[in-house]
Amino acid sequence: MYRILNTLIEFLKKLLPRSLVRPLLPLYHRVMAFMLAGSYGFPARHMTVIGVTGTKGKSSVSDMLFTVLHYAGIPAAVAGTIRFAIRDTSEPNLFKMTMPGRGFIHAFLARARKAGATHAVLEITSESVRQSRHRYLYLDGLVFTNLHREHIESHGSFENYAAAKLEIGKELARSPKRPRAIIANKDNVHSEPYLALSVEEKLPFSYEDVTDVVHAPGTVAFTYEGVRFSMKLPGSFSVMNALAVIRAARFLGVPLETCAEALAQLDRIPGRTERIEEGQDFQAIVDYAHTPDSLKALYEAYPTRRICVLGNTGGGRDTWKRPEMGAIAEEYCDEVILTNEDPYEEDPRAIVDAMADGMEKKPTIIMDRREAIAHALSLAHTGDAVLVTGKGTDPYIMEANDTRTPWSDAEVVREELRKLKKGLVL
């Protein structure tokens, strides 16, 4: 159904003028959401579904919660920016969108249910709300991680962006499931309307809930309700992500001790503070950080000499953050290398120059992303951290005329480390 509809819509888009179609889009998306969910038998009705939303952390929380459920022996599935997984099978998300439309998510849930999955974790974005992709998911629970400035130009204003996010919470309140739970980060100033939702269980979490926090390079440990947690993930943001997962997992009946065991065994989250190891004596990290807040949090998680490679995702959008990103990199990094990321129709050099405008010192600019990464690695000494940010698991570099260049930051870092190691041996 998904492939057939996708082909039909692409054909109609070429025939019908956009000015004629635009006013009808909201109704069209609502009707199609109902019809497509119905065509797969409304699979979410028959599963326990946890949604995850927020500006930052939702991909990590989704993947971590799936890991905990899987470890606990609960047949589960996860759909999000990083991957689509059903029980023991997993495939990367190559769509360049978190929640593909045209019935994809209902087709995925139907496949998951057929494979025996009883639970599903779904990463839900504000962009999906505009096309009613959040409808008919019949949520049992929703995790709200945080809300920060993002997608401003896409939504028209921060207020519109926040309203789109809250629509996901309202969808939880409309769900016929019982009991329903909202799991929300009460440290974020925008959590109040989520915790005010009319649902049976309101489960706030806060950094104040943990004690004895110990940070080390690439790891963090803390105590929560008398249970010690140790993770191979860095930073205070990983603590907050873990708290969201713990709260959601306990709502689903997973004991606290099982959560601790599962999170301790989690070796990595692809594209999220992902360590690339090729025998080097410094840290090489790939991370999705693409907002000022997330960039700052990442840099603070690696208190050592930092060599930073970054660009600015999304030509033509969120232009406000470019000089801010440059300023943050200059403040925290010992070496800053600006490079190309996803320019789309915009001049990639203009994007990088806008980032440089926020910096007092002239940065190193290497527009070829592979060359930029190779140069950063060549500058690293024992104990340093090379931080490559912006793309995470994104599978393409998006350029003009919908040109997509296949890409993987992790693979490029790995290949360049091998070259560097070979050169040193010789």
Residues recorded for the chain: 426
CB atoms inside a 10 Å sphere around CB 44: 25
Q: 297: part of which helix (H) or strand (E)?
A: helix 292-300
Task: Indicate whether 139 and 65 sit together in one domain.
Answer: yes
Amino acid, res. 339: T
DSSP structure class, residue 422: H
Task: Indicate whether 335 and 395 sit together in one domain.
Answer: yes
Amino acid, res. 410: A
Structure tokens at 124: 């839900």
Q: Tell me, what CATH number does 420's domain have?
A: 3.90.190.20
Final residue in a domain of this structure, among 206, 240, 265 = 265
Structure tokens at 138: 């019949």
Task: Indicate whether 39 and 153 sit together in one domain.
Answer: yes
CB atoms inside a 10 Å sphere around CB 10: 10
Q: What is the pLDDT, as a whole number, of residue 426?
A: 38
Whole-model pTM over 0.85: yes
Order the strands of the 283-287 sheet from edge to edge.
274-275, 283-287, 385-389, 306-310, 335-338, 364-365
Task: Indicate whether 261 and 280 sit together in one domain.
Answer: no
Task: Indicate whether 287 and 231 sit together in one domain.
Answer: no
Distance from C-alpha of 280 to C-alpha of 420, rounded to nearest angstrom: 9
Q: Tell me, what CATH number does 206's domain have?
A: 3.40.1190.10
DSSP structure class, residue 214: E
Final residue in a domain of this structure, among 265, 300, 334 = 265
Task: Indicate whether 248 and 370 sit together in one domain.
Answer: no
Share of the chain above pLDDT 70, in %: 92
- DSSP of 94-153: -SSSSS-TTTHHHHHHHHHHHTT--EEEEE--HHHHTTTTTTT---SEEEE----S-SHH
Number of structural domains found in the chain = 2
Confidence of residue 318 (pLDDT cuts 50, 70, 90): confident
DSSP structure class, residue 344: T
Please indicate whether residue 231 or residue 401 has the higher confidence score (pLDDT). Answer: 231
> Any residues with CB less than 8 A from the CB of 357 and at least 6 apart, and which?
322, 323, 326
* Residues 56-84 pLDDT 10s: 999 999 999 999 999 999 999 999 999 99
Cα radius of gyration rounded to whole Å, the chain: 22
> Any residues with CB less than 8 A from the CB of 319 and at least 6 apart, and which?
153, 354
Task: Indicate whether 236 and 281 sit together in one domain.
Answer: no
Confidence of residue 21 (pLDDT cuts 50, 70, 90): low
Structure tokens at 183: 């799991």
Distance from C-alpha of 399 to C-alpha of 347, rounded to nearest angstrom: 9
Q: Are strands 219-224 and 210-216 parallel, antiparallel or unpaired?
A: antiparallel
Task: Indicate whether 295 and 362 sit together in one domain.
Answer: yes
Angle between helices 348-356 and 321-332 (to 10 degrees): 60
Task: Indicate whether 48 and 175 sit together in one domain.
Answer: yes
Query: Is there a contact between 227 and 257 (Cβ–Cβ < 8 Å)?
Result: yes
- Specify the range with the lowest mean pLDDT, choosing from 3-12, 52-61, 280-289, 293-302: 3-12
> Any residues with CB less than 8 A from the CB of 8 and at least 6 apart, and which?
none
Distance from C-alpha of 236 to C-alpha of 300, rounded to nearest angstrom: 9
Residue from 293, 296, 246, 288 nearest 269 by CA = 288
Scanning the structure block, which residue is given the tokens 């006013």? 23
Task: Indicate whether 421 and 288 sit together in one domain.
Answer: yes
* Residues 395-423 pLDDT 10s: 999 998 889 999 999 999 999 999 998 88
The sign of the torsion formed by the CA atoms of 316, 318, 320, 321 equals negative
Confidence of residue 174 (pLDDT cuts 50, 70, 90): very high
Confidence of residue 151 (pLDDT cuts 50, 70, 90): low
The sign of the torsion formed by the CA atoms of 373, 125, 106, 69 equals positive
> Any residues with CB less than 8 A from the CB of 11 and at least 6 apart, and which?
none
* Residues 90-118 pLDDT 10s: 999 999 899 998 789 999 999 999 999 99
Distance from C-alpha of 53 to C-alpha of 143, rounded to nearest angstrom: 6
Task: Indicate whether 250 and 287 sit together in one domain.
Answer: no
Final residue in a domain of this structure, among 240, 265, 290 = 265
Task: Indicate whether 281 and 258 sit together in one domain.
Answer: no
Residue from 321, 293, 298, 320 nearest 309 by CA = 298
Distance from C-alpha of 325 to C-alpha of 112, rounded to nearest angstrom: 39
Residue from 116, 140, 133, 129 nearest 44 by CA = 140
Structure tokens at 349: 């050099």
Where in the sequence is the domain holding 57, given as residue range(s)? 2-265
Distance from C-alpha of 43 to C-alpha of 265, rounded to nearest angstrom: 31
Confidence of residue 26 (pLDDT cuts 50, 70, 90): confident
